[in-house]
């Protein structure tokens, strides 16, 4: 069951400030409407993981750890490895997060990140089969939201990709019915770089990369994920408002362009690692 | 490695079920199918068989979910264990939880929830048989059920998915087309206010293909909206006829 969430109250004056500023083409944090916040990425922080990345998007902090394990394939895809994305809204990341089973926000977050990686074919799952129908490689992508200052989807997608791009794994070989593990570490093969770009609509204006203050007054958001060749691989609208078709097309255009810039930032932070 | 392409369009440009690329599946809607619910609707779209029902506005339960300035909208999208090829566990999956959320958001825009503070409007959707595009058919049915319940709406929401099969943009994908196709774009739309209230996508579209697909989806939603209004009218006509009959019996 999903129900209308009780959002933390926002003072009318704060709401008005945000809306008035946007009407003048400005934002609460001095950005322009189409400015993205600074992205900082650190990789290789957790040695026990196959790959890890800490991503700062403004004050939003998301960490992702990659674990690679041997397991059983899904019955309908016996020749493919498995990709599993999970998101954890760590209780200290926001006063509104609580421990317990994953909330619908966490599930949506994980599924949007998952769709980006899966539909862009970022991980060639068919190369992760060890023994058809029996043993395949499972890639666990665990997204940890540590500090919530808005736009968790984009920050999570960036951090998941950065962690994957710097992941190393042992190789598994089939040797007479036995699976042999070679200790030599090789990079996990990644063949596309999906980047999610979220546009929020506030009082009829479209702004990029909403911070938390803006998310609390936005009517809706649209996340557009595009791949290396600029094609679209996933989209998700959220929030109680609506978009016109022109607004959607505009958000798509912006997302493809901004996606290119963000992809370069991610590649810069992960190359040679 | 690409999966071997399955031919989903024949030489005459027709699809597996004989439809044209821009053709909807056979669709039937009926309003007021349940006795106890405040409002209900049934939809058949292709092999989809879905019932949506409304309770409310009624006292919010549990009380702490109530909102001071508007009604809380609760929504549950659920698939029956027998609705798919292999039995599905009745426990809600992550997919169902996500769909419950996006369907609620798609409908909430249309509901004048500010008229009923501190109450709850409960939307329950049961997919009895699932085919491609079940979330869209669910929205179409749920919006009709809301209208049937007499919940004040800004407009009725219609929904339809557009996808890509064998490289071509195609309307209202069926199960096999969804599974073997290259992309899926579910859209919910309110025609008069030109508002897109649900938009999701997965697969692969170029920007140009996306724009074309969005046009096709909006067009289809307008058609579905007309069918919804027809279905609502049928219900009122039948109620009127019943009333007239009972009056004749009385006199």
State whether B196 and A4 contact (CB < 8 Å). Answer: no
- How near does any CA of chain B get to the CA of A30, in Å? 30
State whether B193 and A234 contact (CB < 8 Å). Answer: no
Cβ-Cβ contacts under 8 Å, A118 against chain B:
202
Residue B2 has pLDDT above 80, yes or no: no
Residue B46 has pLDDT above 90, yes or no: yes
Tens of pLDDT, residue by residue over B79-115, are 999 999 999 999 999 999 999 999 999 999 999 999 9
Cβ-Cβ pairs closer than 8 A, A with B, add up to 121
Q: How far apart are CA B231 and CA B32, in angstroms?
A: 10
Domains annotated for chain A, with CATH where assigned, are: 24-270 (3.30.230.70)
- How near does any CA of chain B get to the CA of A77, in Å? 11
pLDDT average, residue stretch A158-171: 96
Q: Residue B194: helix, strand or coil by DSSP?
A: coil
Tens of pLDDT, residue by residue over A114-145, are 999 999 999 999 999 999 999 999 999 999 99
Q: Does A108 touch chain B (CB under 8 A)?
A: yes
* Structure confidence at residue B1 (pLDDT): 40
The torsion of the CA quartet B218, B113, A219, B164, rounded to 10 degrees, works out to -30
State whether B75 and A3 contact (CB < 8 Å). Answer: yes
How far is residue A48 CA from its own chain's centroid? 22
State whether B214 and A245 contact (CB < 8 Å). Answer: yes
Minimum Cα–Cα distance from A114: chain B residue: B202
Tens of pLDDT, residue by residue over A10-52, are 899 999 999 999 999 999 999 999 999 999 999 999 999 999 9
* Structure confidence at residue B26 (pLDDT): 97
Minimum Cα–Cα distance from A1: chain B residue: B76
Within the 230-269 window of chain A, which residues sit less than 8 Å (CB to CB) from chain B?
230-245, 248-249, 252-253, 256
The CB density around residue A184, as the number of other CB atoms within 10 Å, is: 8
The CB density around residue A212, as the number of other CB atoms within 10 Å, is: 17
State whether A108 and B203 contact (CB < 8 Å). Answer: no
- How near does any CA of chain A get to the CA of B227, in Å? 22
pLDDT average, residue stretch B186-202: 97
Minimum Cα–Cα distance from A239: chain B residue: B105
**Of how many residues is chain B composed?**
251
State whether A241 and B214 contact (CB < 8 Å). Answer: no
Minimum Cα–Cα distance from B93: chain A residue: A107
State whether B100 and A1 contact (CB < 8 Å). Answer: yes
Q: CB-CB: which of B1, B74, B202 is closest to A3?
A: B74
State whether A233 and B202 contact (CB < 8 Å). Answer: yes
State whether B101 and A2 contact (CB < 8 Å). Answer: yes
Backbone torsions φ then ψ of A218, nearest 5 degrees:
-70, 155
| Band (B135; pLDDT cuts 50, 70, 90) | very high
Q: CB-CB: which of A108, A110, A242 is closest to B101?
A: A108
Q: Could you tell me the residue ranges of all domains in chain B?
A: 27-250
* Structure confidence at residue B41 (pLDDT): 98
Cβ-Cβ contacts under 8 Å, A248 against chain B:
196, 199, 214
Is A51 in contact with A66 (CB distance < 8 Å)? Answer: yes
- How near does any CA of chain B get to the CA of A22, in Å? 22
Residue B149 has pLDDT above 50, yes or no: yes
Backbone torsions φ then ψ of A126, nearest 5 degrees:
-70, -15
- How near does any CA of chain B get to the CA of A167, in Å? 22
* Pairing of β B119-129 and β A205-208: unpaired
- Of B38, B131, B236, B199, the closest CA to residue A247 belongs to B199
* Pairing of β A220-226 and β A205-208: unpaired
DSSP state of B227: H
Q: Which helix (H) or strand (E) holds B183?
A: strand B183-190
State whether A239 and B211 contact (CB < 8 Å). Answer: no
Is A226 in contact with A262 (CB distance < 8 Å)? Answer: no
CA distances from A54 to A92, A103, A156 (A): 16, 22, 10
Burial of B92 (0-12, 13-18, 19+ CB in 10 A): middle
- List, as one string, the DSSP characters of chain A: -EE---PPP--HHHHHHHHHHHHTTB-TTS-BTTPPPPEEEEE---TTSSEEEEEEETTEEEEEEEEEEEEPPPTT-TTS-EEEEEEEE-GGG-TT--SSSPPHHHHHHHHHHHHHHHHTT-S-GGGGEEETTTEEEEEEEEEEEEE-SS-HHHHHHHHHHHHHHT-EEEEEEEETTEEEEEEEEEEPP-----EEEEEEEETTEEEES--HHHHTT-SEEEEEEE-TTS-EEEEEEESSS-B-HHHHHHHHHHHHHHHHHHHHHHHHHHTT-
How does the average pLDDT of chain B come out, rounded? 95
State whether B195 and A243 contact (CB < 8 Å). Answer: yes
* Structure confidence at residue A8 (pLDDT): 85
| Band (B6; pLDDT cuts 50, 70, 90) | confident
- Of B121, B199, B106, the closest CA to residue B157 belongs to B106
| Band (A177; pLDDT cuts 50, 70, 90) | confident
- How near does any CA of chain B get to the CA of A120, in Å? 7
Predicted TM-score (pTM) of the model is: 0.95
Q: Does A36 touch chain B (CB under 8 A)?
A: no
How does the average pLDDT of chain A come out, rounded? 96
- How near does any CA of chain A get to the CA of B94, in Å? 7
Burial of A265 (0-12, 13-18, 19+ CB in 10 A): middle
Q: How far apart are CA A103 and CA A99, in angstroms?
A: 9
pLDDT average, residue stretch B193-213: 97
Within the 34-53 window of chain B, which residues sit less than 8 Å (CB to CB) from chain A?
none
* Structure confidence at residue A246 (pLDDT): 97
First to last CA, chain B: 77
Q: CB-CB: which of B100, B105, B200 is closest to A239?
A: B105
* Structure confidence at residue B3 (pLDDT): 53
Q: Residue B189: helix, strand or coil by DSSP?
A: strand
* Structure confidence at residue A247 (pLDDT): 98
Q: CB-CB: which of B108, B194, B200 is closest to A236?
A: B200
Show Cβ contacts of residue B250 under 8 Å, excluding neighbours closer than 6 positions: none
* Structure confidence at residue B157 (pLDDT): 98
State whether B109 and A235 contact (CB < 8 Å). Answer: no
* Structure confidence at residue B4 (pLDDT): 58
Measured CA angle at B95 (ends A88, A123), to 5 deg: 70
**Architecture field, domain B27-250:** 2-Layer Sandwich (3.30)
């Amino acid at each position: 069951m999903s129900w209308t969430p009780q959002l933390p109250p926002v003072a009318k004056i704060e709401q008005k400030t945000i809306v008035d500023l946007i009407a003048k083409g400005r934002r609460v944090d001095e950005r322009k409407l189409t400015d993205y916040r600074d992205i900082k990425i650190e990789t290789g922080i957790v040695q026990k993981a196959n790959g890890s990345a800490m991503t700062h998007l403004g004050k939003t902090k998301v960490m992702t750890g990659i674990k690679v394990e041997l397991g059983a394939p899904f019955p309908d895809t016996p020749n493919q490895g498995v990709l599993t994305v999970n998101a954890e809204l760590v209780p200290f990341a926001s006063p509104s997060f609580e421990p317990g089973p994953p909330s619908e926000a966490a599930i949506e977050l994980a599924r949007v990140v998952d769709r980006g990686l899966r539909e862009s074919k970022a991980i060639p799952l068919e190369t992760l089969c060890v023994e058809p129908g029996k043993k395949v490689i499972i890639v666990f992508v665990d997204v940890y939201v540590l500090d919530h200052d808005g736009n968790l989807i984009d920050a999570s997608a960036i951090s998941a990709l950065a962690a994957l791009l710097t992941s190393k794994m042992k190789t598994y070989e089939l040797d007479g019915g036995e699976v042999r593990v070679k200790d030599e570490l090789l990079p996990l093969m990644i063949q596309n770089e999906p980047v999610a770009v979220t546009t929020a609509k506030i009082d009829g204006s479209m702004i990029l990369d909403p911070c938390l203050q803006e998310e609390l007054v936005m009517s809706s958001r649209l996340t557009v994920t595009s791949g290396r060749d600029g094609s679209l691989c996933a989209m998700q609208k959220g929030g109680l408002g609506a978009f016109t078709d022109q607004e959607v097309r505009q958000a798509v255009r912006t997302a493809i362009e901004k996606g290119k810039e963000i992809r370069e930032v991610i590649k810069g932070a992960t190359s040679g690692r | 490695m690409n999966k071997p392409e399955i031919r989903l369009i024949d030489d005459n440009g027709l699809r597996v079920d004989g439809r044209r690329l821009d053709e909807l599946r056979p669709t039937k809607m009926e309003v007021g199918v349940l006795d106890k619910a405040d409002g209900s609707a049934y939809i058949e779209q292709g092999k989809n068989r879905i019932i949506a029902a409304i309770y409310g506005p009624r006292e919010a339960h549990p009380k702490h979910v109530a909102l001071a300035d508007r009604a809380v909208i609760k929504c549950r999208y659920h698939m029956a264990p027998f609705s798919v090829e292999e039995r599905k566990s009745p426990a809600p999956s992550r997919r169902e939880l996500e769909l419950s959320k996006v369907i609620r958001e798609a409908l909430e825009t249309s509901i004048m929830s500010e008229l009923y503070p501190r109450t709850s409007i409960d939307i329950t959707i049961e997919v009895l048989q699932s085919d491609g595009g079940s979330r869209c058919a669910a929205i179409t049915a749920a919006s009709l059920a809301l209208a049937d319940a007499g919940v004040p709406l800004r407009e009725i929401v219609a929904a339809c998915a557009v996808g890509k099969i064998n490289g071509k943009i195609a309307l209202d994908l069926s199960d096999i087309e969804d599974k073997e196709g290259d992309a899926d774009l579910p859209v919910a739309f309110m025609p008069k206010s030109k508002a897109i209230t649900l938009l999701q996508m997965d697969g692969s579209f170029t920007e140009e293909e996306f724009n074309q697909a969005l046009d096709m989806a909006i067009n289809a939603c307008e058609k579905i909206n007309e069918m919804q209004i027809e279905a609502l009218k049928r219900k009122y006509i039948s109620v009127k006829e019943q009333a007239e009959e009972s009056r004749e019996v009385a006199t």
